Amino acid sequence: MPAQAFYKGTFFNAPIIYDRVLDGLKKVDDVALERISFLTRYLYSQQIKRYHYYEKYPNLIPSGKTLADYNVAGTLSATKTAGDGKINVGFATDSVRDFGFQIASEPDNISAPPGADPRKVPFPPLVFSTTNTNLYQYSVIPSQVQKSKLTSSSYFIYDDSYFNGSLRISGGRREQDLTHTIVFDAINQLDKGDGLGSYYIASSDDLDPATGQPSSAGDPGTWFDCGTFFQDTLFDPQNSLVYPNNSFQQVSIDYNLWVKTDLENTAFSFPSHVRGFLNYDSNLDNEGALQEFNPDFSINEVYFNNSSGVDTLHLAPPLFTEVLLPIFYRYYPIYTIGTTDPGVRNRKGRIFDNYYEKSESVVVITDSVYTRIAEPKFQDELGNYYGSNQNYLKIKNTYFLRTDILFT
């Protein structure tokens, strides 16, 4: 069963099938549609995985192809070039504590260091250097599916307002035939249901130790690491003025984008009593006739393998490649990143912009002027390095990856 109730829009209209027991036509039940919805978002997830695989390993892109050939509406990226079809959907800021300086209000006129004068030098305010990382989303969408594609690859529905009640091709009169019946459910399940095809952002602390994959992102499943989007960088101990001879290395916490590419338990199966949907073949008989076609396929046969690079996505039935996926792209899931918490249902991971909260300082005197130089405290009194231990960090900003999806 789907994680969310099956979405049915105003123009919901199920495909027509031939029932051999009744020896007549009838509308297919929701179980078959749940399978078609699952396969739609499964194929979308595989396409996203394929894009990011070639983004990470451009030397493996097949001859005659470019990375742009594998982009689909909705893909996320931290990079952009002119004219690449990507739009800015927000940014996250990496704030790194820097040195602070405070000059004493009184000069060296009492005693030389380490006399009483240094105690009069106040602590400087916290100082940060910042770097923004933008998130981009590919926003180029295809035109509406051509009538010829619908005729050859879509399915028949019954429309009681069409010639006082008649069969016609789904999508032929309005795109909502397909969005309100399959596509919007696929997007809704991606967003609020099992999450198949959804992005998620996570640091190493958000990963399941056993699988190395996100552990807090909906139903269990398989995830593909799309690469690092953001680095939360802490103060570099090698720049320390208070402890100049330390051996500690700077800590950066990586936040990676992930996409869910499969479910741990796939409960969607095509009903065994359904031989297929109906469409029209002009080559049958003398004037054409109705025919059955099976829209189901095995995900063990249609996939993109990120270990071997084997790509069989082209084997998916035309109902998906020519009709459902092009329509899905037109209503692709929109992501944004920002500091407003959208709530658990809309949240697709979060980023913490951390810094070392406490300070160490030294006081120097130059030309009879005392100056206190403060830096982040990165070790305890025994010389143990704080590293990325959250007990010694403070969150300056929190950024949330979220979805903004509207059905029309």
Domain presence at residue 343: yes
Four-CA torsion 284, 285, 288, 292, nearest 10 degrees: -40
Is the predicted pLDDT of residue 146 greater than 70, yes or no? Answer: yes
pLDDT at 112: 59
- Using CA atoms, how far apart are residues 392 and 325, in angstroms rounded to an integer? 48
- The answer to whether the CB of 397 falls within 8 A of the CB of 263 is no
- Using CA atoms, how far apart are residues 378 and 75, in angstroms rounded to an integer? 38
Residue 310 structure tokens: 């084997």
Domain presence at residue 3: no
pLDDT at 115: 52
Domain presence at residue 6: no
- Using CA atoms, how far apart are residues 303 and 48, in angstroms rounded to an integer? 12
- Using CA atoms, how far apart are residues 267 and 232, in angstroms rounded to an integer? 39
Is the predicted pLDDT of residue 3 greater than 50, yes or no? Answer: yes
pLDDT at 184: 97
* Tens-place pLDDT, residues 251-291: 999 999 999 999 987 778 888 888 899 998 888 877 778 89
- Using CA atoms, how far apart are residues 118 and 191, in angstroms rounded to an integer? 59
Percent of the chain with pLDDT over 70: 95
- Using CA atoms, how far apart are residues 156 and 15, in angstroms rounded to an integer? 6
- Using CA atoms, how far apart are residues 322 and 316, in angstroms rounded to an integer? 10
Average pLDDT over residues 34-53: 97
Domain presence at residue 322: yes
Least confident piece of the model among 63-77, 102-116, 298-312: 102-116
Is the predicted pLDDT of residue 77 greater than 90, yes or no? Answer: yes
Total number of domains in the chain = 1
Domain presence at residue 60: yes
Is the predicted pLDDT of residue 346 greater than 90, yes or no? Answer: no
265 or 325: whose pLDDT is higher?
A: 325
What is the Cβ-side half-sphere exposure of residue 255, based on CA atoms within 13 angstroms? 27
Residue 169's domain comprises 16-404
Of 331, 350, 332, 330, which is closest to residue 340 (Cα–Cα)?
350
pLDDT at 227: 95
Is the predicted pLDDT of residue 143 greater than 60, yes or no? Answer: yes
Average pLDDT over residues 294-299: 95
Q: Mean pLDDT in the chain?
A: 91
Q: How far is CA 395 from the centre of its chain?
A: 23
- pTM score: 0.92
3-state secondary structure the chain: CCCCCCCCCCCCCCCEEEECCCCEEEECCHHHHHHHHHHHHHHHHHHHHHHHHHHHCHHHCCCCCCHHHHCCCCCEECCCCCCCCEEEEEEEEEEEEECEEEECCCCCCCCCCCCCHHHHCCCCCCEEEEEEEEEEEECCCCCCCCHHHHHHHCCEEEECCCCCCEEEECCCCCCHHHHHHHHHHHHHHHHHCCCCCCEEEEEHHHECCCCCCECCCCCCEEEEEEEEEEEEECCCHHHCCCCCCCCCCCCEEEEEEEEEEEECCCCCCCCCCCCCEEEEECCCCCCCEEEEECCCCCCCCCCECCCCCCECHHHCCHHHHHHHHHHHHHCCCEEEEECCCCCCCCEEEEEEEEEECCEEEEEEEECCEEEEEEEECCECCCCCECCCCHHHEEEEEEEEEEEECCCC
Residue 253 structure tokens: 């916490």
Burial (0-12, 13-18, 19+ Cβ within 10 Å), 146: exposed
Is the predicted pLDDT of residue 118 greater than 80, yes or no? Answer: no
Is the predicted pLDDT of residue 108 greater than 70, yes or no? Answer: no
Domain presence at residue 1: no
Domain presence at residue 8: no
Domain presence at residue 180: yes
* Tens-place pLDDT, residues 231-255: 999 999 999 999 998 999 999 999 9
pLDDT at 1: 43
Is the predicted pLDDT of residue 110 greater than 70, yes or no? Answer: no
Is the predicted pLDDT of residue 116 greater than 60, yes or no? Answer: no
